[in-house]
Amino acid sequence: MRKVFLDSDVVLDFLTKRKPFVEESMRIFEYSARKELDIYLSSLSINNIHYIVSKLESVKKSKNKIGVLMNLVKILPVGKSTIEKSLLSDFKDFEDGLQNFCAEEGEMNLIITRNIKDYTKSNLSIQTPKEFLADFE
């Protein structure tokens, strides 16, 4: 089974039905629901997602959506080594570095994000949801 790491933006597209991105993100999560794809997120993503969804909707709705999300994804930890790698890296954005090194430490080969420019310093393959679906399907 193929394993992919999702950046928070793709998850937020799915959970908040953000247009015009929701269709691609929903297709990715449908593959997870059918057990055709393993989706990984960082533990940091869960906090960020909860914060944003709770501000857009409500804390209760955010918790419910994260509960659903937990059935579709696997979680990789952000630990001390992840933080140290991000601190020492050339990533412009610390959080993007954390996501990247969390994916690396979780032995992921691919990060799916709409913000490819944020990962120019990554050693991993980086694809948009559209690019990933074109390859996967």
- Pairing between β-strand 73-76 and β-strand 110-112 as defined by DSSP bridges: unpaired
Who contacts 100 (Cβ-Cβ below 8 Å, separation ≥6)?
86, 89, 91, 111, 119, 121, 122, 124
Q: What is the structure's pLDDT at 1?
A: 84
Token pair 């790491």 is at which residue? 5
Residue-wise pLDDT tens digits, 111-125: 999 999 999 999 999
Q: What residue segments make up the domains of the chain, in order of their start? A: 2-136
Opening angle at CA 1, ends 15 and 4, nearest 5: 45
Tokens of 42: 């960082």
Q: pLDDT tens, 68-100?
A: 999 999 999 999 999 999 999 999 999 999 999
Class of domain 2-136: alpha beta
The whole-model pTM stands at 0.94
* Closest to 68 in 3D by CA, of 29, 13, 42, 10: 29
Average pLDDT, the chain: 96
Looking at residue 137, its pLDDT comes to: 87
